[in-house]
Amino acid sequence: MSSGSSHFSSSGLAKKLRDLTTSQQSVQSLSNWLIHYRKHAKIALEVWQREFNKANNERKVTLLYLANDVVQNSKRKGPEYRREFTIIMPDIFKGLDFGDASIKRTVTRILSVWEERNVFSPELRQALRNLVEPPPQADTNPLADEASAAKRSKLDLSPPATPPVRPAPEAAELMKRLMTLQKDQPSQDMKTHQQVTSFPPEVYNSTLLSSIKDKASMERLNSQVESTSRALGDYVTKLDKELKERKEVQELLESFTYQQKQQLKETKLNLEEYKGKLQRVKLMREELKSHLASLPDLSRLPVATGGLAPLPTAGELFR
């Protein structure tokens, strides 16, 4: 089964998962297929998790082998699977029966590989290891509990919020819209606000109509009511327009915040990956230094024959 042997579909993936075996060829074949369709990672993980949840313990380990292969081999091509598995992996580990010694051994070995190759963040790996082998319960200590809660709060394992409908704006555009809201808005127009609040009580209170005894007073009040009505109508229209503008800016802010959170998560993943690479480079540097220190100093070799003795010929070696 090659990566392009069929189009992606939930039903097709479900069948492939049911046909999966523990053989290396079966796991790698389906892994390559999933990586090929990594733009469907979210849907693929939903199907994978459904199959996992209804599988027996032995079958769950087979699916975990697949997850391990996908996460490791998709690192170079994109963060999609790593990001999605980060979200669901704690629930996956909670669904395994670690009372079965063979299952526990297998999962512990997988965790060791993840630690060695820096797969997932150190915080997530430790959280998963605690699910496999819960740490001993310490005496109740409010300060320790508070510190533990603070440490757990740093590890965000919750699924991302539903993406906003509006596309995220550019930062410059968002700042421009925000600056517009800070000036010349009806809600900040103190002159109009004072005018509205200073209308005579007669235009609001119908009980005062009984005090009007002549036509001239009635016409004067009618003129005031008409004027007040126009002024209030115009002010309400302006406030309604401002409200719509603020709601629109709020939606843009939500979209922008969501985008920044997603970029932050991806940056954290990339940071963990490059930290691992840096560590490997440092280890290689130390090994090179050690190796160089063990090499002989050619300047101290005997030079009685005018230099190094010639290398033996092939005939001399095999006499």
Q: Which CATH class is domain 10-135?
A: mainly alpha
Q: Indicate whether 57 pLDDT > 60.
A: yes
Give the relative orientation of helices 101-116 and 57-73 as an angle to the nearest 10 degrees. 10
C-alpha 318/C-alpha 106 separation (Å) is: 50
Rounded to an integer, what distance in angstroms lies between the CA atom of residue 13 and that of residue 16?
5
**Cβ pair 70, 81 in contact under 8 A:** yes
Look up residue 144 and give its DSSP letter. Answer: H
Contact indicator for 93, 128 with CB cutoff of 8 Å: yes
Give percent of the chain above pLDDT 70. 75
Please identify which residue in the block is written with the tokens 């925000």.
178
Is the pLDDT at 246 greater than 80? The verdict is yes
Encode pLDDT of 249-262 as tens digits: 888 888 788 778 87
* d(C-alpha 89, C-alpha 81), whole Å: 11
Task: Provide the pLDDT for residue 5.
Answer: 47
Q: How far apart are CA 82 and CA 41, in angstroms?
A: 9
* Percent of the chain whose pLDDT exceeds 90: 15
Q: DSSP per residue over 262-296, as a string?
A: HHHHHHHHHHHHHHHHHHHHHHHHHHHHHHHHHS-
This prediction has a pTM of 0.43
> How many beta carbons lie within 10 A of that of residue 255, not counting itself?
18
**What pLDDT is recorded for position 153?**
45
* Domain ranges for the chain: 10-135, 171-294
Structure-token match 């209804």, residue found: 54
* Residue 284, pLDDT score: 79
DSSP E strand stretches across the chain = none
Tell whether the model's pLDDT for residue 220 goes beyond 80: no
Residue 202 — very low, low, confident or very high, per pLDDT cuts 50/70/90? low
Write the pLDDT tens digit of every residue in 254-312: 878 877 887 787 788 778 878 877 877 877 787 787 767 777 665 655 554 455 555 55
Q: Is the dihedral of CA 114, 116, 117, 122 positive or negative?
A: positive
The mean pLDDT of 83-102, rounded to a whole number, is 89
- Residue type, position 109, single letter: R
Question: Where is average pLDDT lowest: 8-22, 80-94, 201-215?
Answer: 201-215
Q: Is the dihedral of CA 57, 61, 66, 68 positive or negative?
A: positive
**Token pair of 9 as six digits:** 């579909």
Residues 118-165: tens digit of each pLDDT: 888 888 999 999 999 887 765 445 444 445 444 444 444 444 455 565
Q: What is the sign, positive or negative, of the torsion defined by CA atoms of 48, 51, 55, 58?
A: negative
What was the pLDDT predicted at 119? 87
Residue pair 266/79 in contact (Cβ under 8 Å)? The answer is yes
